[in-house]
Structure 1
Amino acid sequence: MIKSRTAIIRFISLLSIALVSVNTYAQKVEWLTWEEATTLAMNEENPKKVFVDIYTDWCGWCKKMDKDTFQNPEVATYMSENFYMVKLDGEGKDPIEYKGKTYKFVPSGRKGYHEFAAALMQGRLSYPTTIFLDEEMNMLSPVPGYQKPKPFLNIAKYFGDDIYKEKDWQAYSGKGK
C-alpha cells in the first residue's frame, strides 16, 4: 500500500512538471476585435501595424496554425510587440466598418461569408489567410494558407520591420534569380 502511494505521488509530480513544461512553451496571444485594433491603431501614442487572422470555426488548418504558429513563443512575442492582432471569423455575422464602408455578412450556400473577410482576401475565400496592414490601415499583403512558425516569422518580420519598403519579397526571401 505504501509503495503504491509513493508511486502515485511520483507520477503526479512528474505529470505536474510535464504540464508546466507544456504551458511554458505555449504563449498566450492577446487577440483583439477589429474595433479594438482600429481604435488602438488610430491612437498615435503607440502606432503599430495591424495583423488579421481570418479563420472559420470548421477550418482544421486554422486550428493547427493557432496551436503551432501563434502559440510559438518567438512568434507570439514578435507579433505582440509589432502588431495589433485581430481574429476575424470569415463567416462572422456582425457588420464591420473599414475606411468609411460598412461590410456585412452575405448568406451564400450552406454558410455564407463576411464581405470584409472577402475584401481583405481579395475575393479568394481560403482559410486560414493572414493579412498585414500598415499603421494607416492600408493593405500590405494577404498571405493564404497554413504557415509553420519559422516561415511565418520570416513573413511577419518582412512587414513588421519595414523590410518591404526597401526589398521586394523575392530578394528578401532568397527566391530571386
Structure 2
Amino acid sequence: MRRVALFVMLMCAAHVARSANLEWFTDAQAAQEKAKHENKLVLLDFTGSDWCGWCMRLKGEVFDKPEFAEFAQSRLIAVEVDFPRHKALSQPQLEANAHLARAYHITGYPTIILLNGEGQQVGRMGYVQGGPAALIARLELLTRARGQVQMPSE
C-alpha cells in the first residue's frame, strides 16, 4: 500500500513539474512561424537574465510558475531575447537579439512585446506585479482591447 501511495505521489509531482516547463524559443523567426501555423500569439521577453533584478523577479514570480505555463502552452509561443552580462551567447544570437531590440525600440528591461500571428505588435509592457494571474489578465486585456486576436479558450 505504501508503494502505491508513493507511486501516486511521485506521478503527481512529475505532472506538476512538467506543467511548469514552458518551451522558450531563442529564434524569433522560428517562433513567429510556429505561432502563425498554430494560431497563437508570440510573447517576446526582452531580458537581462543574469543581471536585471526585475527580469529575475518576473521569471521567478511569473514565467516559472505552473499557472503561467499552463496558460501560455495553449495560447503563446514564448521567446527569450536575452542580453546577459555573464553568460555567453553565440555571435549570431547576439546579433539577432540586438536586431530585435532595435526593431522594437527597447530601452529598458524587462520589456514584454506581444505579437499576433502576422508579426504585428498588439501589446507592450514591463514588469507586472501580482504574479501569474496579473500578467495573464493583462495579456488577455491587451488582445481584446486591440481587437487583434481572441485568446483561444481551453
When the two structures are superposed, what TM-score results if normalisation uses the length of structure 1?
0.60
Q: Deviation at 1:165?
A: 3.6
Q: Which has the larger radius of gyration?
A: 1
Q: Does 1:62 align with 2:55?
A: yes
Other-structure match for 1:76: 69
CA distance in 2, matches of 1:60, 1:32: 22
Other-structure match for 2:119: 137
Of the three residues 13, 26, 32, the one matched with 1:38 is 32
Contact residue 19 and residue 69 of structure 2 kept, 8 A: no
Q: Describe the SS at the equivalent of 2:46.
A: strand
Contact residue 79 and residue 156 of structure 1 kept, 8 A: no
Change (3 A) 1:164 1:85: same
Q: For residue 44 of structure 2, what is the amino acid of its counterpart?
A: V
Q: Deviation at 1:40?
A: 1.0
Of the three residues 133, 140, 145, the one matched with 1:157 is 140
Other-structure match for 2:43: 51
Q: Deviation at 1:36?
A: 2.5
CA distance in 2, matches of 1:116, 1:150: 27
Q: Does 1:117 align with 2:84?
A: no
Other-structure match for 1:8: none
Q: Describe the SS at the equivalent of 1:114.
A: helix
Q: For residue 94 of structure 1, what is the amino acid of its counterpart?
A: P
**Gaps (5+ residues) in structure 2?**
1-5, 148-154
Q: Does 1:128 align with 2:98?
A: no
When the two structures are superposed, what TM-score results if normalisation uses the length of structure 2?
0.68
CA distance in 2, matches of 1:35, 1:137: 10
CA distance in 1, matches of 2:64, 2:19: 5
Moved over 4 A (4+): 23-26
Q: Deviation at 1:88?
A: 0.7
Contact residue 28 and residue 71 of structure 1 kept, 8 A: yes
CA distance in 1, matches of 2:68, 2:127: 17
Relative contact order higher in (CA < 8 Å, ≥ 6 apart): 2
**Gaps (5+ residues) in structure 1?**
1-12, 97-103, 106-112, 167-177
Q: For residue 141 of structure 1, what is the amino acid of its counterpart?
A: G
Looking at secondary structure, tell me which structure has more helix per residue: 2
Q: Deviation at 1:118?
A: 3.5
Q: Deviation at 1:24?
A: 4.7
Change (3 A) 1:135 1:39: closer
